[in-house]
Structure 1
Amino acid sequence: MKFSVSRASLWVSLSLASGSALANPEQPDDMERIIISGSRVVESIDEVPASVTVITKQDIHDHLKVTPELQSLLAMYVPGMGPDTGSSSNTGQTLRGRAPLIMIDGVPQSTPLRNGSLGVKTLDPSAIERIEVIKGATSIFGNGAAGGIINYITRTPRASDGLEGEVSVSSRFSAVQPDESAGHRLEAAINGRADKWHYLLTASYEEYGVQRDAQGDILGLQYGLSDAITQNYFAKLGYNFDADKQLQVSYNFYRSQQKTDLGDTFDGTKDVAIHVPPALQKSGEPQGPDGNTNLMVKYTDLNIFANTQVTLDYYNQSIENVFFFSPNLANPQDGYSGGQSVIKSEKEGLRATFNSQLDFNNIEATFIYGLDALNDVTSQPLVDGRIWVPEMDMTNVAGFVQSKWVYNDDLIIKAGARREHITLEVDDYDTLRLCRQADQCSVPVAVTGGELDYDATTYNVAVKYQFTPFFHPFISYSQGADISDTGRLLRSATVTDITDVRTEASIIDNYEIGFTSQISPAIRLEMAAYRSTSELGTSTRFDPTTGIYLPVRAPQEIWGYEGVVNYRVSSTVDMSATYSYVEGKDTQNDVYLGGRTINPPKATFIANWRPTDEANLTLEYLYVGSRDRFDADNEGIYSTDQAPVSSYNVINLSGNYAFTSRWQGFFGIQNLLNEDYFPARAQAYTYGGYRVKGLGTTVNVGATYQF
């Protein structure tokens, strides 16, 4: 029996996993082939027996020329991810029919206890090196990962010594009706190295103009981006004690709020914004993330003991996501004509991850094990002081072990388990009396609080066999334990004791089979089919008596398939195409799930052409298919999120040209052919304020200076 481990490979693992490769400036350029999200350590994509999507730095830069919205980027590049909603909210944009956990460098950003669907917008894309997407339920990172993981890996300092940086300025405007639509964006970044220190600073500031559809009308303001102001400041500082030990501190500040003097109106077809007197302008506080912050501290020792490295993570997060003013939060009896909610979340966590790598003759073994501890305090009060969702104080402690066995470089077997203990404390509270109409009000209930305990052990096992270069089949089974959106259940409680509210954790079983194939050096193919079941899902039904959308906890089954083809046509042209299909049912009632959960079929095509060393053009094509699973009532009205979706097409074009080694100009055109369409969510939802069209042709032009 032989034991061996490569310190050099561990050092590269540390650099990538921490989001800083400065300690090894001459790392391989092919970083796209390395991922960390799925197993908490670095491994080759070819050794992962599951569906993985990596959005590279170049992909991000190409799409950033078109739009800075991460929803749009994920929809274009991730099979299984729902189409862009065209707004600041990702509600209705799921990953394989379930909510993903959003992370920055492995630190959770979502607020699963009260999922307000704003987690995608937590970081500006200019601060991101790459994005790793692991699909399917996983317990690797705990609560909230029912649909998988979307991990934003922040930029890495590149300077081998001294300082380098870049500054970029740009402006976006509507080509249909430019009036009032011009906005401006400034972003800058510096990174450097001094002795044992390395650092990175990025900053971005953007002021949007009004957003116009294909007819030149201003888009409706609910979750809108018109007149929004977005700021992001990210800093990373690292110190290498010696060849094995590194300490790194990161800080992120993000704010994106809509500050407008417009007002909403419905013209009979779509929700639009218009200029109105002050009394009719958008009510309440500016909507959007109000200065969300993250502090992350990471310590790594590559040789804590024989063949083992350890990573210790501490993180602290503060979130305030402000929502739009809604008349549905009215209570005329107490003098409230509406209301505006804000999700507040304070998280503090500590993680210890050990990674032992061993070599038993023809078997390479990796063991990943450790402990996670998290305290998450989340609530959703109204701005006027009323309590809609009471404060939920969750303590989560989990131990885990994951193993990977590679036999003769051909057979990969993964297996692991996670033991979860969650305690959730809620004080006594009263549900709100809310009135959709004067005679359509909910009945307030005094709920006795208490402590809820959840214990769950989840397992995963997967096998991949590299049969030939042309055929790498895999099969996997994974579980996730999820108590997501407990706040939605509490705010709609109709019982007097919290222990009678159906807050049980949902165990999600995810099955997947697929293969990857390198047909030739120029052609790569990926295919996967999946099935996901859960004991308790959370959909909604409208109660016409009270005017409240009530949660429905019933078993769910979601299934689908997806494929990816990458083709390098020549040294200057490469193309990729994807297709994804997902469907789902409430199996207890044998009815299909609505558009809040299930997205319509989606296909994408992306082509890159580099005619010269100085120039690059990128064409993006998005096709969203139709979905019609429900019947209207006798008056032709569809319920909640069950309206039919018709297909549409969107084409984007972007390019850049390097005038010198330091100066570069770029452009981007969103919706090149000015398609007049409603996004899938706007079609499926019957909730008020969501009938908002997609952007018409919008142009972005700018320049970058590097030093």
Structure 2
Amino acid sequence: MKLSQLNQIKFMLNPIVIGMLGLSLHVQAQTDHNEYAMVVTANRSAQSISDIAATVLVIEKEQIEEQAKSGVEFKDLLANLIPSLDVGSQSRSNAGQNMRGRSALVMIDGISLNSSRAISRQFDAINPFNIARIEVVSGASAMYGGGSLGGIINIITKKGSDDEEGAHYEAWLGAQSGFNSSEDSQYQVAQAYSFNKEKLDARLSISYEKTGGMYDSNGDMILQDSTQTSSQYVSQFDVMGSIGYDISDTKRLELTAQLYNSGQDSEYGIDYGYGYSNYFTTDEIDMVKGYELDEQAKTTRYMLAANYIDSKFYNQTMNIQLFTRYESLRFNPFYAGTLSASEQNTTVVGSKFVFTAKPTNKLSLVYGADAEFEQFDATQTYYDTTTAAISNGLVLNSVGETDRYPGIDTLSLAAFLQADYDLSDAFNVHAGVRYQYSYISVDDFVDVEQQYASLAGDTTDYDAIEGGSNSYSNTLFNVGALYKLNKQQQVWVNFSQGFEIPDSAKYYGQGDYNDDGSVASSTNVSDNPLEGIKTNSIELGWRLSNESLYTQLTAYYSLSDKKIEAQDDYSIEVVDDKVRIYGLEAQLDYYLTDALHAGGNFNYIMSETKEDGKWGNLDATSASPSKLTAYISWQQDLYNTRLQTSQMFDYTDADDNDLEGYNTVDLLAGVQLPVGKLQFGITNLLNTEYQTLWSQRAVYYYGGSVNENLFNFEGQGRTYSVNYNVKF
């Protein structure tokens, strides 16, 4: 098929049946190379991947560890292995890293990391040391509700029940460097203890990772991400614990807890020039020593979950999940007339109830309800601009704090029903419905500019912009079918609807004021309620699997009735311009022998918006470029090696803004020792010079009339890594 013909493809499927409501999925791999012989179970209701009408991908622990221990950063690791996911940012943020051109729902053990405030740090959430596998479904999902228009990534953590009976210890020791200077280093220490005995199992792990400076292919320190914060000079702690108890043969209780902290402590900062002179020129900008800031960027997250399963609850399986999540996300100061940094806090409590039943041999039902309550607030810390200006932007002294966004409370309630019916041994149909109700309460809020004016000495008594409440009620449908051509091949088609509420914090609380401090005009709940966005998706898929080959090819199409548009002040508007995204997603793995195999994946994607009655390419700040990855791998009992390459392709939007593609190559190798294993890696093997995808997006999003070099976050140059791990 020629690439030009792809514009005629308007098919898409919605994955809906695995991981109902985001509860934990479990995967058991067979001994051969047949990827689709895996059994996926949701709530103890087993289903082979070959029976699922969805683009399903399971990233196993061995794949994750091979990449992570070889120095591949987590966001890049995911992009290498997930066809529909954009390339990584190499910064703390996964902003603009979409799935099939849209936002993804990211979860840990079924607990969503997405929030009403669209902050992109879902991948700054866990150390790969604690990951057992990752479940991925591409495309929108009516069964998950909002936030999953592009797909679902469910990170499953390691548990004591994963191990054989007895006590076990696991340790990782790793180091990484490009040997550019004494600052160019990274190391990791991780330790876990687990046991599995009779009815009780548990695991406790502690990992610590410390990064230094990062250097580009020319040996220069990479500019720190001034917009979304950097991953340089960061100390990361990830503490996880779980305990499970089999109450009986049919009942199980499991508790999981996590404490995650990823904080920056850097002596290096961006040289903005005296009086911020470099901010308005076209000069190159460097990193220099002398950065002084008491509270630097960090991510802090606490999670606690309880799962109860009863597989014989009135002839059905009942799964109950109760959870809470708290996170505090702090940014570094950003200069935009004033010099300030925000800290944004989210607290979530929720529950999920899922029941699975099989009334007849041909009919299966999954139904349930979920509820979630979220509280959000944010502050803005301002810094002395004079001190910063005479120190080239390096010395930052706080002068006060205001609110950054209105406080927002969000209540979400949902109920769903999913039915699967076997018309024959080869032909299955399914249909489902989800009713979602969301209630949003917005606090009264004085516009942030007026708050800063008061902080700076303005004595005007500014009125608050009125808050209020708004509700959203949606019924989402899905319907589809799967047909087995034979034991090795299946084709499927599916239609599904998705719905999302845009970022309320970046919409409400904006206003203009009269001289006496009264509100002249504003964006408030009663006069300008924020509209939701509905997306219809359809997918047509085919897969083939046998002992030496598995491959799947999917044509997809999605259409949204509205578009989110960023404003010059970084607030958002929802406009009535439709957005359509369509393309081809594919994956192939072929075993030439038991030891030698090769393959890759690609996502050819077109993103368009309809303005003034005409379709044109979507803005470069949000559109996903096409990408291709390929690899060849040799694996034996004692040795393994993998050569892999990733290619992002060029993209040009309707305003002729370009995203320049690039290619990187990595070499991964390992050797089994009498005790433990050594894993080596060389990332960016050819020392390619490139600008990351997020950097190129940031230029268009933040650049405007300022020096674009402020957002020139070069890709990391050739880097070497070594890791020793042992489990006993």
> Is this a same-fold pair by TM over 0.5?
yes
- What is the number of equivalent residue pairs in this alignment? 650
- Displacement of 1:647: 2.0
1:20 and 1:156 in contact (8 A); partners too: no
Structural RMSD (CA): 2.7
Per-residue deviation, 1:260: 0.1
Equivalent residue, structure 2, for 1:696: 717
- Which amino acid letter does the alignment assign opposite residue 217 of structure 2? A
**Any conservation in 2 of the 1:350–1:374 contact (CA below 8 Å)?**
yes
Higher normalized contact order (CA 8 Å, seq sep 6+, divided by chain length): 2
SS of the residue corresponding to residue 390 of structure 1 reads strand
**Pair 1:448–1:181, CA change in 2 (3 A):** same
Residue 585 of structure 1 aligns with which residue? 608
The answer for the alignment partner of 1:511 in structure 2 is: 538
Asked whether 1:528 is paired with 2:528, we answer no
Cα separation, partners in 2 of 1:505 and 1:228, compared to 1, 3 Å: same
Cα distance, 1:574–1:27 mapped onto 2, change above 3 Å: closer
Q: 1:489, CA displacement in angstroms?
A: 1.5
Query: Which of 258, 272, 283 pairs up with 1:252?
Result: 258
Report the alpha carbon displacement of residue 685 of structure 1 after superposing the two structures with TM. Answer: 3.0
Q: Secondary structure at the match of 2:84?
A: coil
Whole-Å Cα distance in 2 between the matches of residues 586 and 83 of structure 1? 22
Provide closer, same or farther for how the CA distance between residues 347 and 604 of structure 1 changes in structure 2, counting only shifts above 3 A.
same
Using the alignment, how far apart are the partners of 2:343 and 2:493 within structure 1?
42
Q: Secondary structure at the match of 1:304?
A: coil
Matched, 1:368 2:377: no
Amino acid at match of 1:344: N
Amino acid of the structure 1 residue aligned with 2:334: S
1:417 and 2:438 equivalent?
Answer: no
Return the match for 2:156 from 149, 153, 158: 153
Q: Per-residue displacement from partner, 1:76-102 (whole Å, max 9, x unpaired)?
A: 111111111111101111111111111
Looking at structure 1, the residues matched to 631 and 655 of structure 2 have their Cα atoms a distance apart, in angstroms, of 36
Which residue in 2 is equivalent to 1:355? Answer: 356
Separation in 1 of the partners of 2:527 and 2:195?
A: 56
Instruction: Report the alpha carbon displacement of residue 472 of structure 1 after superposing the two structures with TM.
Output: 1.8
2:296 maps to 1:293: no
- The Cα of 1:658 is off from its aligned counterpart by 1.1
* Residue aligned with 2:507, SS: helix
Cα distance, 1:40 vs structure 2? 9.8
**Residues 110/445 of structure 1: CA separation in 2 closer, same or farther (3 Å cut):** farther
Q: Which amino acid aligns with 2:173?
A: V
Query: Over residues 596-617 of structure 1, what are the superposed CA-to-partner deviations in whole Å (9 max), with x where a residue is unaligned?
Result: 321211000122202x411111
The match for 1:387 is 403
Task: Name the amino acid aligned to 2:324.
Answer: N
Which residue of 2 is the match for residue 205 of structure 1? 208
Is the contact made by 1:530 and 1:560 (CA closer than 8 Å) also made in structure 2? Answer: yes
Residue 576 of structure 1 and its aligned partner are, at CA, apart by 1.8
2:717 alignment partner, SS class: coil
Residue 67 of structure 1 pairs with residue 71 of structure 2: yes
Secondary structure, in 3 states, of the residue corresponding to 1:63?
helix
Partner-residue secondary structure (3-state), 2:235: strand
Q: Which sits farther off after the overlay, 492-501 or 158-167?
A: 492-501
> Per-residue deviation at 1:205?
0.4
Mark the CA change 1:526 to 1:20 in structure 2 (over 3 Å): closer, same or farther: closer
Q: Does 1:216 align with 2:219?
A: yes
Is the 2:25–2:41 contact (alpha carbons within 8 Å) kept by the matching residues of 1? no
CA deviation profile, 1:570-617 (whole Å, cap 9, x unmatched): 11011121111222222244442223321211000122202x411111
Residue 447 of structure 1 is aligned with which of 436, 460, 465? 465
Please report the TM-score for the alignment, with normalisation by the length of structure 2: 0.84
**3-state SS, counterpart of residue 681 of structure 1:** helix
Structure 1 residue matching 2:659: 3-state secondary structure: coil
Structure 1 residue identity aligned to 2:416: F
Q: Which secondary structure state, in structure 2, belongs to the residue aligned with residue 226 of structure 1? A: coil
* Alpha-carbon distance in structure 1 between the residues aligned to 2:325 and 2:221: 35
Contact 1:283–1:325 (Cα < 8 Å) also in 2: no
What's the counterpart of residue 514 of structure 2?
Answer: none
Structure 2 CA distance, aligned partners of 1:398 and 1:603?
Answer: 38
> Is 1:380–1:387's contact at 8 Å kept on the other side of the alignment?
yes
**Structure 1 residues 246 and 625: CA distance shift in structure 2, 3 A:** same
Q: Is the 8 A contact 1:489 1:501 kept in 2?
A: no
Q: Residue 403 of structure 1 aligns to which amino acid in structure 2?
A: A
| Cα distance in 2 between the residues matched to 1:49 and 1:598 | 27
1:698 shift after superposition: 0.9
Partner of 1:93: 97
1:656-695 to structure 2, matched below 5 A, reads: 656-660=670-674, 662-686=675-699, 687-688=702-703, 689-695=710-716
1:114 maps to which of 99, 111, 117: 117
Does structure 2 conserve the Cα–Cα contact (< 8 Å) formed by 1:560 and 1:583? yes
Check if 1:572 corresponds to 2:595: yes
2-side partners of 1:108 and 1:357: how far apart? 28
- Which amino acid counterpart does residue 551 of structure 1 have in structure 2? E
Aligned runs of 1:231-380 on 2, under 5 Å?
231-265=237-271, 273-277=286-290, 281=291, 283=293, 285-289=295-299, 291-306=300-315, 308-328=316-336, 330=337, 337-360=338-361, 363=362, 365-380=363-378
* Letter paired with 2:296: P
Tell me the distance in 2 between the aligned counterparts of 1:270 and 1:509. Answer: 46
CA distance in structure 2 between the partners assigned to 1:270 and 1:288 by the alignment? 30
Deviations 1:620-653 (A, max 9, x none): 2101111122446xxxxxxxxxx31222110111
CA contact (8 A) 2:427 2:484 kept: yes
Deviation string 1:379-409 (CA, Å, 9 cap, x unpaired) is: 3322453222111111111111111223433
Q: Which runs of 5+ in 2 are unaligned?
A: 1-18, 273-277, 382-399, 453-461, 512-520, 704-709
Q: Which amino acid aligns with 1:147?
A: G
Output the amino acid matched with 1:606. Answer: Y
SS at match of 1:524: strand
What is the CA–CA distance in structure 2 between the aligned matches of 1:579 and 1:696, rounded to whole Å?
Answer: 24
Q: Per-residue deviation at 1:254? A: 1.0
Taking a change above 3 Å as real, the CA distance of residues 273 and 199 of structure 1, as seen in their structure-2 partners, is farther
- Compute the displacement of 1:549 (Å): 5.2
Residue deviations 1:403-425 (CA, integer Å, cap 9, x gap) = 12234331121210001111111
Name the aligned partner's letter for residue 585 of structure 1: E
Write out per-residue CA displacement over residues 537-578 of structure 1, whole angstroms, 9 at most, x where no aligned residue. 213243xxxx55543433322222121121111110111211
Instruction: Assess if the C-alpha contact under 8 Å between 1:489 and 1:502 holds in 2.
Output: no
Alpha-carbon deviation of 1:655? 1.4
Aligned to 1:706: 727
What is the Cα deviation at residue 20 of structure 1? 7.8
Tell me the distance in 2 between the aligned counterparts of 1:648 and 1:243.
Answer: 54
Letter in 1 for 2:196: R
Give the letter for the 1:249 counterpart: L
CA distance in 1, matches of 2:600, 2:26: 31
Query: Which amino acid in the other structure matches residue 413 of structure 1?
Result: V
**Alpha-carbon distance change, 219 to 229 in structure 1, aligned in 2, over 3 angstroms:** same
Task: Return the letter of the residue paired with 1:232.
Answer: D
Q: What amino acid sits opposite 1:122 in the alignment?
A: A
When residues 496 and 468 of structure 1 are mapped into structure 2, their CA distance, relative to the original with a 3 A threshold, is closer
Change (3 A) 1:475 1:159: closer
Compute the displacement of 1:218 (Å). Answer: 1.0
Mapped partners of 1:445, 1:695: distance in 2: 48
Q: What's the counterpart of residue 645 of structure 1? A: 659
- 2:78–2:85 contact (8 Å) kept in structure 1: yes
Letter in 2 for 1:497: N
* Residue identity in the other structure for 1:368: V
How many percent identity over aligned positions?
Answer: 23
| Greater Cα shift, 134-143 or 557-566 | 134-143
Write the distance in 2 (CA, Å) between the matches of 1:221 and 1:535: 37
**3-state SS of 1:587 partner:** strand
Residue 163, structure 1, aligned to residue 163, structure 2: no
- Structure 2 distance, partners of 1:81, 1:598, is 12
Other-structure match for 1:597:
622
Matched-pair contact (CA < 8 Å) for 1:62–1:618: no
Please give the per-residue CA displacement for 1:52-93, whole angstroms capped at 9, x wherever unaligned: 222111110111123363211111111111111111101111
Q: What is the aligned counterpart of 2:644 among 612, 620, 645?
A: 620
Check the 8 A contact 1:324/1:340 in 2, yes or no.
yes
